[in-house]
Amino acid sequence: MNTLLDGLFNLRGQAALVTGGSRGIGLAIAHALGGAGARVVIVARRAEWLAPAEGALREAGVTCAAFSADVADAEQVARTVAAAKAAVGDLSILVNAAGRTWGAPAETMPVERWREVIEANATGAFLMCQAVGRGMIARRYGRILNVASVAGLAGSPPEILAASGYAASKGALIALTRALAVEWARHGVTVNAIAPGFIPTRMAEAVIERAGQALLDRIPLGRVGEVEDLLGAVLCLVSPSGGYITGQVLAVDGGMTAA
């Protein structure tokens, strides 16, 4: 490997925890971190998705462990972080990719669905940051990356996306990212976020299909994204190359939020 690139993006000897790591963006990130040399723990709420994901990572040569947990439950988070550390060692990287959504016009959004989305996307990320961050602070090193969304940066016409709870949760995640970045910088911990545009994961496929050309017309690059479009930014922000970047939200959206 090129010596410069190896120094910038080498994760050998590091351990990472990825929530929402059993599929979609989270699983792709887990593969990227493992490919860069990290030992990886994936966490997801639904156990049935974890075994195939863990198997795929191991088949790719990644040292991996998998745990089922609801990230919005503080006790489950504490147990899972302890188990992760026992499995792969002290965690120097945390990626919060777990997420839920519920599509409905704001005027008819059921409050229980609102709470579920906020709890999973905002409270869950906070609890994971808190539990993993304590160890990072003690060791004076850490990289935290939150997977937000362009929905947290700007509103969307309802014919493209009507999901006020999701938008609010991602806006909260962006604010949390900036707050923790400033609070924990003195401890050597960086906290950043990526804000993906429309990526055809299981969660977003129906939205993309329904919006069709109206969505593409809003994206200057003229296409929806792919999970692979996110991985360069992810590796930059969690590796040694990201040591002077903190509190930032990088939109990976084909220019959508710039238009």
191-250 pLDDT, tens digit each:
999 999 999 988 788 889 988 999 999 999 999 999 999 999 999 999 999 999 999 999
115-155 pLDDT, tens digit each:
999 999 999 999 999 999 999 999 999 999 999 999 999 99
Confidence of residue 5 (pLDDT cuts 50, 70, 90): confident
Burial class of 251 by CB neighbour count within 10 A (0 to 12, 13 to 18, 19+):
buried
The confidence score (pLDDT) of residue 204 equals: 83
- Considering 9, 67, 166, 198, which one is annotated as catalytic? 166
The confidence score (pLDDT) of residue 6 equals: 76
Average pLDDT, integer, range 168-181: 98
Q: How confident is the prediction for the chain on average, in pLDDT? A: 95
Q: How many CA atoms lie within 13 A of 52 on its CB side?
A: 6
Average pLDDT, integer, range 62-76: 97
177-192 pLDDT, tens digit each:
999 999 999 999 999 9
The domains of the chain, with CATH numbers, are 12-258 (3.40.50.720)
pLDDT of 18 strictly over 90: yes
The confidence score (pLDDT) of residue 257 equals: 95
Average pLDDT, integer, range 32-59: 96
Residue 141 annotated as catalytic:
no
pTM, whole model, 2 decimals? Answer: 0.95
Q: b/e string for 26-40 if b means 16 or more Cβ within 10 A?
A: bbbbbbbbbbbbbbb
